[in-house]
Structure formats: structure tokens, C-alpha cells
């Protein structure tokens, strides 16, 4: 776009094509040296964010990453790039800032106007563009005050658990009692200058199930399964589950969230009771990351 009709476009460095430009006289300087792409700030705990609006006219870029079914992709690294001549011996497209998507698959940037921007998404589930070390052009005519969006889609599905609770089974004298306390959070970013990772707190992100051997295999494989009990998205509590007759081995499963950025620390104590009397107890200390399972197996009568 050549707003002032001088033969130089905004993409080529003519910031005077926009009256809102904060770079008067841009026509007289070398393109790509008179504009800010992004200015980032960070804390000692690894959190990184853009503060470009303190130094230049900026616009907002809102990013939403999803899988093919529209599920949000959290924990994905969003890299924003632009053409740089900062190092004359090695000009080219360089990363200018980055962020990590939240639990809703979103990230937001404040970026300098009048630049051509490129983007890339990398996640544990998949990347966009798919090819390594590639980017896609996002936009080439941002104006101060604009709100732009980018909605990339990775080519892999984010899994989910499908549990059906089984009830009305003949009870036996045996029961299992689970006492648990989890501290939950999610990976929210990394400072690549200091190699520090940032974690944010999040409410209840652990699932508990009591399954037999067949349904344990289904759970692990990602298939639908049946469970004597299902407590999902929980962080602390006590759960008592009567075991049915039949003597089948039963397994208590604590499952980390299927999203990509979940981080769980805590303890799980499983007690076996016969006729209300304590027979055995096992306590596990957990660190779990996305999709991880921890299990306690119990065989009634043994």
C-alpha cells in the first residue's frame, strides 16, 4: 500500500504511508532499520511478554491455535519473525518475539506497525507449517491500533478421555479409599535467553479412575473405557469405592490432563479395606506432565 503516492509502499519501509506513524521521515532511511518489530520484557521466573507499545506505534496480534476438530492447543510456542538487517553479514527472516499458548490455545502480541510479519507454531502434538525451520507470512500492512488475528491449525488431534462409570454391581467386603492432594499448573513460557521456564497455577487438572485389566488397557490406548469411579479435574479430596465381587485385579489410576502444558505435583494414598478395616496402604509422590498416568494395582483376597 502506497498511501502518500511517493512510489514506496509500507511493506518496503515507507511508514509515512500512515498518518499515525511514529516514524516521520521514514522515506529517507533504509527500510527495516527505521521500525520496531517487537520489544520483549521478562521476569526472573521466565515469563516473557511484549512491551513494544512503549517504543513504537503498535498493533495487536491475537493467535488461536487449534487441532483439526477445533480443540485448543495449549503449550504451543508461537514464534513471530520479520526481515532483519541488524547483522549486515547475515540478513534474513529472524525471530523477533515468541510466546506460549494458554489453556485456551491463545497468545497475544503487541507488535510494531508497518512491518511484514511471519509466524510459526511448534507443539508436542504438531507444528505449523509442518516442515521444519519454515514460516508462513502473516501480514504485511499492519497499522497502529489494528487488532489482527491468526488462527493456525496443527494436523494432529489433542486427545481426550471417555469414561463411563459402572454402578449397581454386587458389592464385596473389599473397598479402596483414595486420599489425594495435587498442586496443579501449566507450562506458560520459556525465556530462551536465560533457559528458564515459566509456570502458572491452574485449578483441578487430575483425573482419578478405578478400572479392571481390560479397561486399563483401553484407558492407556486412548479408547473409551468403563470405571468403577471417575473423578475428573480434581485437586484434593477423599474417594471411597466399594469393590464388586469376582476378585478381578483393580487399578487406581491418577491421570494428568491430556492437554499439552499440564504439570502436576502431589501425593496419592491408596488404602485397601476389608469389612471397613485397613489392610494395606500405598502412597505415591507425583510429578506428572501432560498425558502421564500413575497406577496402584490391587488384587482382592491376596
* Domain end call among 150, 185, 203: 150
What are the DSSP E strand ranges found in 145-261?
Answer: 147-150, 163-165, 171-191, 196-201, 206-211, 225-227, 230-234, 236-244, 250-255
**Three-state DSSP class for residue 235:** coil
Please indicate, yes or no, whether residues 222 and 102 belong to a single structural domain of this protein: no
Tell me how many domains the chain contains.
2
* Domain end call among 127, 150, 173: 150
Please indicate, yes or no, whether residues 187 and 223 belong to a single structural domain of this protein: yes
Under 8 Å between Cβ of 27 and 17: no
Residue 128 in domain: yes
For residue 292, the model assigns a pLDDT of 78
Spatial distance between the Cα atoms of 210 and 176, rounded to a whole number of angstroms: 9
**DSSP code at position 88:** T
Q: How far is CA 96 from CA 7, 92, 138, in A?
A: 28, 12, 14
Please indicate, yes or no, whether residues 47 and 72 belong to a single structural domain of this protein: yes
Please indicate, yes or no, whether residues 144 and 228 belong to a single structural domain of this protein: no
Spatial distance between the Cα atoms of 30 and 12, rounded to a whole number of angstroms: 9
Spatial distance between the Cα atoms of 291 and 302, rounded to a whole number of angstroms: 31
Residue 3 in domain: no
For residue 243, the model assigns a pLDDT of 93
pLDDT < 50: residue spans in the chain: 1-4, 10-34, 302
Please indicate, yes or no, whether residues 21 and 100 belong to a single structural domain of this protein: yes
Residue 121 in domain: yes
For residue 260, the model assigns a pLDDT of 65
**Three-state DSSP class for residue 27:** helix
The total number of residues written for the chain in this structure: 302
Spatial distance between the Cα atoms of 186 and 285, rounded to a whole number of angstroms: 18
**DSSP code at position 218:** H
Residue 73 in domain: yes
Please indicate, yes or no, whether residues 144 and 187 belong to a single structural domain of this protein: no
Nearest-CA neighbor of 5 among 22, 20, 14?
14
The residues pairing with 139 across neighbouring beta strands, listed in sequence order, are 117
Helices (H), 40-142: none
* Domain end call among 129, 150, 171: 150
Residue 65 in domain: yes
Q: Is the dihedral of CA 279, 286, 181, 299 positive or negative?
A: negative
The residue segments making up the domain with residue 85 are 15-150
Sheet harboring 250-255: ordered strands across?
Answer: 230-234, 206-211, 250-255, 293-298
Residue 118: enclosing H or E segment and its boundaries?
A: strand 117-122
pTM value is 0.64
Residue 194 in domain: yes
- Rounded to the nearest 5°, which phi and psi values hold at 260? -95, -15
Please indicate, yes or no, whether residues 60 and 100 belong to a single structural domain of this protein: yes
164: region left, alpha or beta (phi > 0 left; psi from -120 to 50 alpha): beta
For residue 265, the model assigns a pLDDT of 83
Please indicate, yes or no, whether residues 143 and 167 belong to a single structural domain of this protein: no
CATH code of residue 37:
2.60.40.1120
Residue 2 in domain: no
Residue 93 in domain: yes
Please indicate, yes or no, whether residues 139 and 178 belong to a single structural domain of this protein: no
Please indicate, yes or no, whether residues 25 and 69 belong to a single structural domain of this protein: yes
For residue 238, the model assigns a pLDDT of 94
Please indicate, yes or no, whether residues 25 and 119 belong to a single structural domain of this protein: yes
Please indicate, yes or no, whether residues 110 and 200 belong to a single structural domain of this protein: no
Amino acid at each position: 500500500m502506497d498511501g502518500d503516492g511517493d512510489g514506496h509502499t509500507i511493506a518496503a519501509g515507507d511508514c509515512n504511508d500512515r498518518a499515525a506513524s511514529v516514524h516521520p521521515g521514514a522515506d529517507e532511511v533504509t527500510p527495516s532499520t527505521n521500525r520496531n518489530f517487537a520489544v520483549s520484557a521478562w521476569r526472573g521466573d521466565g515469563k516473557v511478554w511484549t512491551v513494544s507499545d512503549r517504543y513504537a506505534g503498535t498493533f495487536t496480534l491475537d493467535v488461536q491455535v487449534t487441532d483439526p476438530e477445533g480443540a485448543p492447543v495449549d503449550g504451543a510456542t508461537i514464534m513471530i519473525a520479520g526481515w532483519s538487517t541488524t547483522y549486515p553479514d547475515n540478513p534474513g527472516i529472524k525471530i523477533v518475539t515468541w510466546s506460549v499458548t494458554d489453556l485456551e490455545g491463545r497468545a497475544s502480541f503487541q507488535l510494531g506497525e508497518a512491518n511484514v510479519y511471519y509466524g510459526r507454531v511448534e507443539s508436542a502434538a504438531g507444528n505449523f507449517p509442518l516442515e521444519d525451520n519454515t514460516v508462513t507470512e502473516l501480514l504485511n500492512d499492519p497499522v497502529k491500533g489494528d487488532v489482527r488475528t491468526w488462527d493456525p491449525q496443527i494436523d494432529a488431534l489433542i486427545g481426550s478421555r471417555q469414561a463411563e462409570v459402572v454402578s449397581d454391581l454386587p458389592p464385596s467386603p473389599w473397598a479402596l479409599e483414595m486420599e489425594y492432594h495435587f498442586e496443579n499448573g501449566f507450562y506458560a513460557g520459556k525465556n530462551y535467553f536465560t533457559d528458564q521456564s515459566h509456570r502458572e497455577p491452574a485449578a483441578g487438572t487430575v483425573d482419578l479412575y478405578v478400572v479392571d485389566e481390560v479397561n486399563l488397557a483401553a484407558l492407556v490406548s486412548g479408547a473409551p473405557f468403563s470405571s468403577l469411579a471417575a473423578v475428573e479435574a480434581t485437586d484434593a479430596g477423599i474417594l471411597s469405592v466399594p469393590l464388586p465381587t469376582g476378585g478381578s485385579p483393580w487399578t487406581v489410576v491418577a491421570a494428568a490432563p491430556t492437554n499439552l502444558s499440564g504439570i502436576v505435583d502431589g501425593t496419592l494414598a491408596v488404602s485397601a479395606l476389608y469389612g471397613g478395616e485397613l489392610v494395606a496402604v500405598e502412597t505415591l509422590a507425583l510429578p506428572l506432565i501432560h498425558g502421564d498416568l500413575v497406577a496402584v494395582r490391587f488384587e482382592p483376597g491376596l
